Amino acid sequence: MAVHDVSVPIRSEMPIYEGNPGVELERVSSIPDGAPANVSRLTLGVHTGTHVDAPLHFIEDGPGAEAIPLEALFGPAFVVDATAVAADSLGERELESLGIPAEAERVLLKTKNSALWARTDFTRDFIRLDGSGARFVIERGIRTIGIDYLSIGDQEAHRELLGAGVVPVEGLDLREIEPGPYTFVCFPLDVVGSDGGPARAVLIDP
């Protein structure tokens, strides 16, 4: 059984969505200073690296990260090859052209974004869903939709997906992953009242 880690490593020099908090790791207790153990403090935004959005992210009074349904984040998934899409956004027409299996409940989009993980700075030049793409996802009955950069879509897409109960997974690193079926495991931190949760995500070969 092959397990593929598709999470983005958390580090100080990594792409952070513009305006979001950066990453700080500070040793607050250390063995060389006489402490019995090393203890560190980690500061980061909840939308850092690989993470799952909660409805509260775009819906005021929406459920927080503690309400994200874990069953949507564990089970059969399809990695879909969207690297040839040249459009600026993934709308209904673009998604329809990808041949997403009709039975797919969890879909991970491998796009031209994957190359952006070679950078340490954030760029807005990435592909994402638009409103029509989000509605396509909802109409197809897809429960979980993931993408290989820091945002699943524009504001309209976020509101459509989160309002319909679809779980967006952002910040996946799919550079080394071949399209096809896998078992997907991705559990966000249970941060009560948060608009998102950092996560560790893996794909397991069938």
Tens-digit pLDDT profile for residues 133-150: 999 999 999 999 999 999
Q: Which of 4, 47, 51, 57 is catalytic?
A: 57
Q: Name residue 186's beta-bridge partners.
A: 201
| Model pTM above 0.75 | yes
When pLDDT is cut at 50, 70 and 90, the band that residue 206 belongs to is: confident
The predicted model gives 41-69 an average pLDDT of: 98
Decide if domain 3-17+46-204 falls under CATH 3.50.30.50.
yes
Q: Which tokens in the block code for residue 11?
A: 């580090």
Count of alpha carbons within 13 angstroms of residue 18, beta-carbon side:
5
Q: Is 4 a catalytic residue?
A: no
Per-residue model confidence as pLDDT tens digits over 81-120: 999 999 999 999 999 999 999 999 999 999 999 999 999 9
Q: How far apart are CA 67 and CA 64, in angstroms?
A: 6
What's the pLDDT at 1? Answer: 85
| Cα 38–Cα 189–Cα 21 angle in degrees, nearest 5 | 75
Q: How far apart are CA 128 and CA 58, in angstroms?
A: 16
